[in-house]
Structure 1
Amino acid sequence: MPDSTQSTNKASFFGRLAEQITKYSGTTAVFVGAVGIVLLWAVAGPLFKYSETWQLVINTGTTIITFLMVFLIQRAQNKDSLVLHLKLNELIAATKGASNRLINAQDFSEEEIRLIHQFYCLLADKAKADNDLGETHSVEEAEDNHHEKLAAHRND
């Protein structure tokens, strides 16, 4: 049975390596280097008589780099997305009156997301009817406020 601390260290090593490569690959120096390689390849074209091998070198190199970068970019996006969701969850949890139903909304099914979207569309319609977009946090509150305003107008 493999040692769990050893696999954790390997995972963290590869995680750290991927993070460092991701940071480095987005620098100006790497971009300038990539442009330099393409220019060098283009200049070398006449020396190799624009052969199939000459073309294969750039095609193979760019394909491999693109293939690997797709996974690094996806990893970075996944991490950024998770951090953004955590920050939003913290804001929801810390805001008085906010609906805790939306904490971890990124884990909801598409049907649940559609239902919540319909809920907020209804809430927005109610808020527009009251000419106040920031007063209520639930459909029930919006309906109650609307009825209270109607009653107040009737009593005037």
Structure 2
Amino acid sequence: MSKKKMFECASEWLAEKAGSATTFTVAIAGIAVWAATGPLWGFNDTWQLIINTSTTIITFLMVFLIQNTQNRDTDEIHIKLDALLHATKGAHDNLLALEDRNAKELKALRRKYAELGRKTQTQP
């Protein structure tokens, strides 16, 4: 199995687990245990460093996981929208694969369709 495929499988599995009620409960329990140990450690710098380091590492890794999930979801939506445009009579084929257009082309298309929308609104 390629590294890319392994990453995709792992990220899908992690995304599913990270968004579960069980994971949320475990996180809350971990924070409760950390808070309860405060008096034992005297609320010192090491005690604070444990939670700060843990949450920083988890947040750092979750950024990549969330971005991967978002990219996959965006790709799926693009494919579905392209299929709908392709199947719709009267749809403009130039709207397919907009993700391949540069910013200038997208702005021009946006202006064109905004003008069409204004014309449609003024018609009885």
TM-score (norm 2): 0.95
Any residues of structure 2 matched to 1:1-156 within 5 Å, and which? 8-131=1-124
Q: How many residues align?
A: 124
Cα deviation 1:5-29 (Å, max 9, x = unaligned): xxx5332122211110111000000
Report the equivalent of 1:3.
none
Percent identity reads 40
After the TM superposition, list the runs of 4 or more consecutive aligned residues in structure 1 that deviate by more than 4 angstroms.
none
Cα distance between partner residues in 2 of 1:76 and 1:14: 11
Runs of 5+ unmatched residues, structure 2: none
Amino acid at match of 2:103: E
Cα deviation 1:111-145 (Å, max 9, x = unaligned): 111111111121112212322xxxxxxxxxxxxxx
Higher relative contact order (CA 8 A, sep 6+): 2
Runs of 5+ unmatched residues, structure 1: 1-7, 132-156
Q: Larger helix proportion, structure 1 or 2? A: 2
TM-score (norm 1): 0.76
Task: State the 1:43 CA deviation.
Answer: 0.4
Cα distance between partner residues in 2 of 1:41 and 1:61: 11
The structure with the largest alpha-carbon Rg is: 1
